Amino acid sequence: MSKAIVADSAVVLNFTIKLEDGSIAESSFNYGKPAAFVLGDGSMSEGFESCLIGLAPGDNRSFTLSPEQGFGQSNPDNIKHMDRSRFDDDAPAEVGMILAFTQRDGQEVPGIVRDVVGDSVTVDFNHPLAGQSVTFDVEIIEVK
């Protein structure tokens, strides 16, 4: 009998994340290899992990998560207004662009340019799927 997923299990799985309109937002198939993580390591949301409990290798499941269970609600504090002069030809301030910004601690965070008006650029540092319900299709490959 295959080992079922429990807290602290090391899991290898294929996944596809779909938006409410059915479009695919992300998939492990795009990278040609499955995802691997340990339940409870903080890399996945608790809502996602709770849906995996009890699944075993060979299981295929589909489940829908609310914004709170998945990537959270959009936080207005994560939307920043910046001066256009902070951008250059290598990283233009164009709506829809995803750019990496370096924090004071040296860590890079992605931001999406949401609006450009005159010399003001609005950048959203929320997770791109924040505020959206998403459907996960998963195929469990390995559990340790």
- The string of pLDDT tens digits covering residues 48-97 is 999 999 999 999 999 999 999 999 999 999 999 999 998 887 777 899 99
Domains of the chain: 10-72+129-143 (3.10.50.40), 76-124 (2.40.10.330)
- State mean pLDDT over 17-22: 97
Q: Check whether 2 has a pLDDT greater than 90.
A: no
**pTM summary value:** 0.80
- State mean pLDDT over 18-47: 95
Task: Please state, in angstroms and rounded to a whole number, the distance separating the CA atoms of residues 49 and 38.
Answer: 10
- State mean pLDDT over 29-47: 95
Residue 28 backbone phi and psi in degrees, to 5: -65, -20
> Residue 90: its pLDDT value, please?
77
- The string of pLDDT tens digits covering residues 98-115 is 888 888 999 999 999 999
Distances (CA, A) of 118 to 81, 85, 101, 122, 138: 12, 11, 21, 11, 45
> Residue 92: its pLDDT value, please?
76
Kindly state the percentage of the chain with pLDDT values over 90: 87
108-117 vs 98-102, strand pairing mode: antiparallel
Q: Check whether 1 has a pLDDT greater than 70.
A: no
Task: Please state, in angstroms and rounded to a whole number, the distance separating the CA atoms of residues 123 and 91.
Answer: 13
> Residue 53: its pLDDT value, please?
98
